């Protein structure tokens, strides 16, 4: 029997056309959501509300790249040669030793010659044959601003040569802030609510981004970036978890791909050109704070997590939320549905299941899955960031190459939307990282610049899909009581990987091809590890630690949704047997 909305009455227990027993009760939030609308106007509004948070995430992620960008063409500043009114090319030719690699001169040393006697005797300095091979270290530098039209803080403070590590260190300090932020805001989100945590998170990021513009030393810059880093990751993780929880099971893929395939893609593709046309790193720091102004509208555009209310025993709030969703979605469920839902909530949900991250260790399978998620996400982030930072090693316009790489987010998101609910999370994660390994190795072997850039863009295309799979996997596999903390833990390890990635690119000083070798290896390992996770396609989100422990017990290692479409469709409508 169906009600006026065409939804099966919750009292019905069987379908005469099926031999499988339906859910006899409205026991979970996933059970009742279809009656008030699990993919209607309300869900589309939530998808739209993700826009400022995805753009803020892109800005936080990549803004420091442009705040510390240094032109590859830089050389020792020689005051004597500048006084002769020589061109940049002539000063380099006269005073700087040659080099075999791009930009084909030594960026850290100058010829050890006293140019003043030559100047005083008014000799033609370009006609002198240099016989001395002695060089000295630079103490000041000149920069060619042809391709990068502004002096970043790294240029102003000469973070080059033996000081170049400060750029990677500042980036690592930013991500260290993310570790503390992940722990802090993850705890607040699970114990005080998602919305209070998000408001505090974005508020700190907003103020710290503004403060960055006032930095004038390495340590003032590092402190500002540490505070900004507190909001990184959680500025998108918390909204993403909220929206996923209000979305139909078979529409969860759309959430991640809208957030990253569209919003994040647009934000990260436009960001380089904002830096290019602002052409002032301090003004750019102010601009980077604008997306964080979502802090002022968050309580009005995002709801508190209904599952958080359920997990904390606040059932009245859940009913209010369901009634609001029904109103916006123009649904008119029978009043008895709410009564049945409240009455039939399972004991594990009605009691306050207060859990912390250490409870994962008490559940062997849940602990194993969490560890696999940690390694998968961390290795994917090393490969992802490695390709981001390696763009500055390719002798081309970094703004063009960065935009091309970021523009792959949209087609990657669209392709993943078509494939993820057909092929499943495991296979999509495996194939994208395996292809990343191949493209990264090809980038190492190929010599033409355009070929290297093509391989880099293709690798980024695959990594975009792999990262989206990882984001969705963690939110789907971890149970409600520790979902935010668990996702935060996984991303904390990912942030450690973020901190390592700049040094992976710095390994090019040892050998030019070493960064791509490292990226190829970590991509292959990550591709292998994801095969040992259970498939989440079409499954309800686990609501308790017990459900998280039992999740996927009925799955075979070789089971792939693309070959089991019938079984996959059944899981969309029926509860897994272990639940």
Cβ neighbors of 175 (< 8 A, separation 6 or more) are: 229, 232, 495, 496, 498, 499
Residues with Cβ within 8 Å of residue 516, at least 6 apart in sequence: 390, 440, 441, 443, 444
**Could you say which DSSP state residue 120 is in?**
H
Tokens of residue 26, six digits: 């409205």
Residue 511 is predicted with a pLDDT of: 82
CA separation for the pair 346, 343 (Å, rounded): 9
Which of 385, 384, 376, 390 minimizes the C-alpha distance to 514? 390
**DSSP letter (8 states) at residue 263:** I
How does DSSP assign 454-496, residue by residue? HHHHHHHHHHHHHHHHHHHHHHHHS-GGGHHHHHHHHHHHHHH
**Dihedral angle computed from the Cα positions of residues 459, 464, 469 and 471, in that order, rounded to the nearest 10 degrees:** 130
On the CB side of 507, how many CA atoms lie within 13 Å of its CA? 14
- Return the residue matching tokens 């750029």: 167
> One digit per residue, pLDDT tens: the chain, 579 residues?
445 444 444 444 444 333 333 344 566 777 788 888 888 899 999 999 999 999 999 999 999 999 999 988 888 888 877 777 778 887 888 788 887 777 778 888 888 777 666 665 555 555 555 545 688 888 888 998 888 899 999 999 999 988 988 998 999 999 889 888 878 887 888 788 889 999 999 999 999 999 999 999 999 999 999 999 999 888 988 898 899 888 887 787 788 778 877 898 899 999 999 999 999 999 999 999 999 998 898 889 899 887 788 777 777 888 888 888 888 988 888 878 887 777 776 544 444 455 666 777 777 888 888 889 999 999 999 999 888 888 877 777 788 888 888 888 888 878 887 887 778 788 888 999 999 999 999 988 887 888 888 898 899 899 988 988 887 787 778 877 777 677 778 877 888 898 888 888 888 878 878 889 999 999 999 999 988 888 877 666 777 777 767 676 666 555 666 555 544 444 444 344 333
In this structure, are residues 248 and 38 in contact, taking their beta carbons and an 8 Å threshold?
yes
Do 109 and 252 reside in the same domain of the chain? no
Residue 2: φ, ψ to 5°? -120, 150
Q: How far apart are CA 481 and CA 544, in angstroms?
A: 7
Q: Please list, in sequence order, all residues whose beta carbon lies within 8 angstroms of the beta carbon of residue 377, skipping any fewer than 6 positions away.
A: 470, 474, 490, 491, 493, 494, 497
Residues linked to residue 142 through DSSP beta bridges, in sequence order = 75
Give the contacts of 414 (CB within 8 A, at least 6 positions apart): 257, 261
Nearest in space to 95 (alpha carbons), one of 116, 81, 83 = 81
Let me know if 348 is exposed, middle or buried by CB neighbors in 10 A (0-12, 13-18, 19+): middle
| Contact (CB, 8 A) for 474 and 534 | no
* 145 vs 29: CA distance, rounded Å: 57
SS3 138: coil
| Residues 331 and 382 reside in one and the same domain | no
Query: Do the bridges between strand 109-111 and strand 141-143 make them parallel or antiparallel, or are there none, so unpaired?
Result: unpaired
Other Cβ atoms closer than 10 A to 266 = 18
312 shares a domain with 427: no
Where helices occur in 291-408 by DSSP H, the ranges are 298-301, 306-311, 315-328, 335-344, 347-350, 364-390, 398-407
Same domain flag for 111 and 192: no
Considering the domain architecture, whether residues 333 and 249 belong to the same structural domain is answered as yes
Closest CA to 484 of 138, 198, 119, 147: 198
Boundary of a domain, candidates 296, 326, 349:
349
One domain for residues 100 and 194 = no
**96-115 burial string, b = 16+ CB within 10 Å, else e?**
bbeeeeeeebbbbbbbebeb
According to DSSP, the β-strands at 109-111 and 135-137 are antiparallel
Residue 234 lies in a domain: yes
CA–CA dist 378, 466 (Å, integer): 12
* Tokens encoding 18: 């099926």
Report the predicted TM-score, pTM, of the whole model to 2 decimal places. 0.77
The β-bridge partners of 135 are 111
375 falls within a domain: yes
Burial of 346 (0-12, 13-18, 19+ CB in 10 A): middle
Q: Based on the fold, state whether residues 82 and 32 are members of the same structural domain.
A: no
* Residue 15 forms part of a structural domain: no
- Inside any domain, residue 31: yes
User: Could you give the number of structural domains in the chain?
Assistant: 3
Domain end position, chosen among 349, 376, 410: 349
Q: Does 355 fall in a domain?
A: no
Separation CA 390–CA 515 (nearest Å): 8
Residues 239 and 312 both lie in one domain: yes
**Rounded to the nearest 5°, which phi and psi values hold at 410?**
-65, -55
- 551 and 413, same structural domain? yes
Q: Are 43 and 251 spatial neighbours (Cβ–Cβ below 8 Å)?
A: yes
Domain harbouring 477, CATH code? 1.20.1250.20
328 with 342, same domain: the answer is yes
Radius of gyration of the chain (CA): 27
| 411 shares its domain with 491 | yes
Q: Quick one: CA torsion of 503, 506, 512, 514, rounded to 10 degrees?
A: -10
Q: Last residue of a domain, which of 144, 176, 199?
A: 144
| Structural domain boundaries enclosing 511 | 360-572
Inter-axis angle of helices 409-445 and 449-477, nearest 10: 130
Give yes or no: residues 213 and 93 share one domain: no
Q: Is residue 468 part of a domain?
A: yes
* CA-to-CA dists, residue 106 to 73, 156, 161, 207, 346, angstroms: 10, 20, 10, 40, 70
Q: Helices 281-289 and 194-212: crossing angle, nearest 10°?
A: 170
Kindly state whether residue 579 falls inside one of the protein's structural domains.
Answer: no
**Is 404 within a domain?**
yes
Q: Which two tokens stand for residue 255?
A: 């959430």
Contact 386, 505 (CB under 8 A): yes
Bridging pattern class, strands 74-76 and 141-143: antiparallel
CA distance 78 to 105: 15
* Peptide linkage before 63 cis (omega within 30 of 0): no
């Amino acid at each position: 029997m169906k009600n006026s909305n065409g939804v099966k009455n919750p009292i019905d227990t069987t379908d005469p056309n099926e031999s499988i027993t339906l859910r006899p009760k409205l026991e979970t939030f996933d059970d009742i959501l279809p009656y008030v609308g699990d993919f209607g106007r309300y869900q589309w509004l939530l998808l739209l509300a993700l826009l400022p948070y995805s753009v803020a995430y892109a800005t936080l992620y990549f803004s420091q790249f442009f705040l510390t960008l240094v032109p590859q063409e830089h050389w020792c500043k020689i005051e004597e040669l500048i006084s002769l009114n020589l061109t940049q090319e002539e000063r380099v030719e006269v005073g700087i030793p040659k080099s075999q690699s791009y930009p084909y001169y030594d960026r850290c040393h100058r010829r050890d010659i006293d140019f003043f006697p030559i100047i005083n005797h008014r000799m033609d300095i370009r006609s002198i044959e240099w016989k001395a091979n002695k060089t000295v270290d630079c103490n000041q530098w000149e920069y060619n601003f042809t391709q990068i039209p502004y002096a970043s803080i790294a240029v102003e403070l000469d973070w080059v040569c033996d000081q170049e590590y400060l750029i990677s260190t500042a980036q690592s300090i930013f991500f260290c802030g993310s570790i503390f932020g992940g722990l802090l805001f993850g705890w607040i989100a699970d114990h005080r609510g998602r919305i209070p945590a998000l408001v505090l998170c974005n508020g700190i990021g907003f103020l710290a981004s503004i403060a960055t513009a006032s930095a004038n030393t390495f340590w003032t810059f590092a402190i500002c970036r540490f505070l900004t880093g507190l909001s990184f990751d959680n500025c998108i993780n918390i909204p993403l978890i909220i929206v996923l929880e209000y979305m139909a099971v078979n529409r969860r893929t759309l959430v991640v791909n809208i957030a990253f395939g569209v919003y994040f893609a647009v934000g990260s593709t436009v960001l380089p050109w904002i830096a290019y046309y602002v052409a002032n790193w301090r003004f750019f720091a102010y601009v980077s704070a604008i997306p964080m102004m979502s802090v002022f509208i968050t309580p009005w555009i995002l709801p508190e997590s209904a599952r958080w209310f359920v997990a904390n025993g606040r059932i009245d709030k859940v009913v209010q939320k369901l009634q609001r969703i029904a109103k916006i979605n123009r649904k008119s469920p029978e009043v008895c549905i709410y009564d049945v839902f409240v009455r039939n909530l399972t004991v594990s949900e009605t009691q306050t299941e207060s859990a912390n991250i250490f409870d994962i260790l008490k559940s062997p399978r849940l602990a194993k899955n969490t560890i696999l998620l940690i390694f998968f996400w961390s290795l994917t982030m090393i490969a992802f960031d490695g390709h981001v930072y390696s763009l500055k090693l390719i002798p081309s316009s970094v703004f063009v190459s960065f935009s091309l790489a970021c523009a792959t987010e949209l087609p990657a998101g669209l392709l993943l939307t078509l494939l993820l609910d057909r092929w499943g999370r495991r296979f999509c994660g495996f194939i994208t990282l395996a292809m990343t390994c191949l493209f990264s190795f090809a980038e190492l072997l190929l010599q033409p610049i355009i070929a290297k850039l093509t391989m880099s863009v293709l690798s980024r295309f695959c990594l975009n899909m792999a990262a989206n799979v990882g984001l969705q996997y963690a939110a789907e596999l971890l149970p409600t009581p520790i979902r935010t903390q668990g996702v935060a833990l996984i991303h904390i390890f990912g942030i450690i990987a973020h901190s390592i990635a700049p040094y992976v690119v710095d390994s090019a000083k040892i050998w030019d091809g070493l960064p791509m070798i490292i990226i190829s290896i970590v991509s292959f390992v990550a591709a292998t590890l994801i095969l040992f996770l259970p498939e989440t396609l079409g499954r309800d989100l686990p609501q308790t630690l017990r459900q998280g422990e039992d999740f996927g017990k009925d799955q075979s290692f070789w089971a792939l949704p693309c070959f089991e479409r019938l079984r996959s469709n059944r899981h969309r409508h029926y509860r897994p047997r272990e639940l």
